[in-house]
Amino acid sequence: MFSLEGKTALVTGASGGIGSAIAITLAKQGARLALSGSNGAKVRAFREQLNDEIGGDHVEITCDLSNATQVEELIPATLDTFGKLDILVNNAGITRDNLAMRMKDEEWDQVIRINLEAAFRLMRAATKPMMKARHGRIVTITSVVGATGNPGQVNYAAAKGGLTAMSKALAQEVASRGITVNCVAPGFIRTAMTEVLPDAQKEALNARIPMGRMGEGSDIGAAVAYLASNEAGYITGQTLHVNGGMAMLG
């Protein structure tokens, strides 16, 4: 069940904490991956690790998501390599936190450009080969913040909320062609960034989670693998919240 044998997938932000966990899970399920990131050396090292530890013939494609030209070239580059694209995972994202009254235009612009606009460009490009194949899976990583808001993150919340709404709209446009479009919304996930937080801050975060702990990257990877599978073929326009009960959203 949930086998991805014979499937090809593009994962953005693939060498980051959540991105690498998603990539590892998809590779274990049999998918062949195009791993994208802005740091070419880091993505290459992760690709070599993935090939060595899990096997497969995965590739890396360096892409700066703030550069519209590079974004537009990412799907064609994946198709040139694989000949098809079955799964697109929009995972990459940045934060530029600040209170709204102090937020600079560039802090707003950078987050919207990378987190929302780049995802739109990739979705738009991916739907063309998927519609021709009459099959496809688009999974976008949003955030609990996109549903609940968070002080100091009006730009991030706007981008993540926008991704959810955009996915719902696209899901309606392409459903008749066998393409599903869904989101996975993580809560607090244990990553290298959260590990350096003081213990008191970690305890405060955990206190907000009914399960009493942060999630793991593999929890997000499992959700993505399910939505990318044939078994999830009748699920579209939905958001799967993976947050340990921190926000119990319908």
- 188-214 pLDDT, tens digit per residue, is 999 877 787 788 988 988 999 999 999
- Annotated catalytic residue 234: no
Range of lowest pLDDT (93-97, 107-111, 114-118): 93-97
Q: Tell me: the pLDDT tens digits for 19-49?
A: 999 999 999 999 999 999 999 999 999 999 9
Q: Which domain holds residue 75?
A: 8-241
What's the pLDDT at 151? 94
How far, in Å, CA of 217 to CA of 139, rounded? 16
Number of domains in the chain: 1
Residue 204 or residue 140, greater confidence: 140
179-186 β-sheet, strand order: 59-62, 32-37, 8-12, 87-90, 136-141, 179-186, 239-242
Tokens of 43: 């993505």
2 found inside a domain: no
Q: At what angle do helices 68-82 and 118-133 cross, to 10 degrees?
A: 30
Asked if the structure places residue 3 within a domain, the reply is no
Q: What is the mean pLDDT of residues 114-126?
A: 98
CATH of the domain at 136: 3.40.50.720
pTM higher than 0.85: yes
Catalytic residue, chosen from 156, 163, 181, 227, is 156
**Is position 246 within any domain?**
no
